[in-house]
A and B are shown apart, each in its own frame.
Chain A
Amino acid sequence: MRERRRLPRGARIPTASMADIAFLLLIFFLTSTIFRLETGLEVDLPRADSGIGAARTRSAHIWLDRTGELAVDDRIVDLETLEQVLGAKLRASGELIVSLQIDEEVPYEMVDRLIGALRRANIRNVRLGTEEDPAAP
């Protein structure tokens, strides 16, 4: 014979802890949200399979679009002032990873000149920004 368990009268789902969970999630999103202010230049990145994902922390971004315009973070610069700007950033942060967002149609000569300027500014760690190939398995 089966015994039936009786539910106590007036059974309730405790909702008091829901607000605690909401606050915990809220604090998480509050602390992890970054409102991106810099927009950079419009570039089409080349596709590559061997690209590695990385957080954007401690990195400066350089954009080079197909017209040859150059920007560091949110500032349009030329190749000569680039060294000074990066030198100042390097002194301020100690260690700097430079992320290069170069348009895929830019002639390699311009890329070489940019890398030369980075070397003169004593930048060692560089990341060539790519896009994941959607056709890749």
Chain B
Amino acid sequence: MRIRGRLKGRPEIAQAPMSDVAFLLLIFFLSTTIFDFEVGIPMVLPGVQSTRERVEREDVLEIATAADGTITIDGLPALLDSVEETVRARLNARPELTVFLVTHPSVPYRRMVELLDEVRAARARRIMLKLGEG
């Protein structure tokens, strides 16, 4: 024979600890959340089958970094700080300017990014990365 227990009064679900649990979970997620965000220089690479484009010699500015880290702009020695100004001046004269960044194979990547940063600061839009001759 089954014995039925009688419920006393009105049954209720205790709601008070629910907010405590919610706050505990809230603190956990607040402290563990990482907003996935990163910083970088966006670039669009040319496709493998991209057509070759002809550019006039006057529309090209070649910035080369030698093995010892020295910079030349169109063959003339230059300082990193002067790159932005030079590119800006050339861009004013030739808005379709393409900047060639020629980097020696043994030069650290940091050096190329520094130059790229200067060229981007001058608002050059057509930039080509090229490996120099070792």
Indicate, yes or no, whether A interacts with B: yes
- A108 near B112: Cβ-Cβ < 8 Å: yes
Tell me if B106 counts as interface (CB < 8 A to partner A).
yes
A contacts with B, residue count (CB < 8 A):
52
Measured between beta carbons, the chain B residues less than 8 angstroms from A52 are: 39-42
Which one of B1-9, B88-96, B116-124 is at the interface? B116-124
Please name all residues of chain B whose beta carbon is closer than 8 Å to the beta carbon of A34 when the two chains form the complex.
34, 36
Q: Is the CB–CB distance between B29 and A26 below 8 Å? A: yes
A83 to nearest B CB, angstroms? 11
Flag whether A118 is at the interface (Cβ < 8 A): yes
A130–B40 CB distance below 8 A: yes
Specify which of A25, A57, A104, A122 is in contact with B47 (CB 8 Å cutoff). Answer: A122
Does B22 contact A23, Cβ atoms closer than 8 Å? Answer: yes
Beta-carbon nearest neighbor of B105 in chain A: A109
- Inter-chain contacts of A54 with B (CB < 8 A): 37-40, 42
Quick check: B19 and A124 within 8 Å, CB to CB? no
Does B80 reach chain A (CB closer than 8 Å)? no
Q: What class of interface size applies to chain B in its complex with A?
A: 35 or more
A32 within 8 A of B: yes
Q: Produce 1/0 per residue, B40-71, CB < 8 A to A.
A: 11111111100000000000000000000000
* Contact of A109 with B131 in the complex, beta carbons under 8 Å: yes
Tell me if A26 and B121 are in contact (CB < 8 A).
no
Picked from A32, A47, A49, A99, the residue with its CB within 8 Å of the CB of B33 is A32
Residues in B lying within 8 Å of A, measured CB to CB: 18-19, 22-23, 25-26, 29-30, 32-48, 103-114, 116-117, 120-121, 129, 131, 134
Closest 3 CB pairs of A and B: A29-B29, A109-B105, A104-B110
20 additional A-B pairs beyond A48-B113, A56-B38, A112-B103, beta carbons within 8 Å, are A22-B23, A25-B30, A29-B26, A30-B29, A33-B32, A33-B33, A34-B36, A36-B36, A47-B113, A50-B121, A54-B38, A103-B109, A105-B110, A108-B103, A108-B108, A108-B109, A120-B48, A122-B47, A127-B40, A128-B113
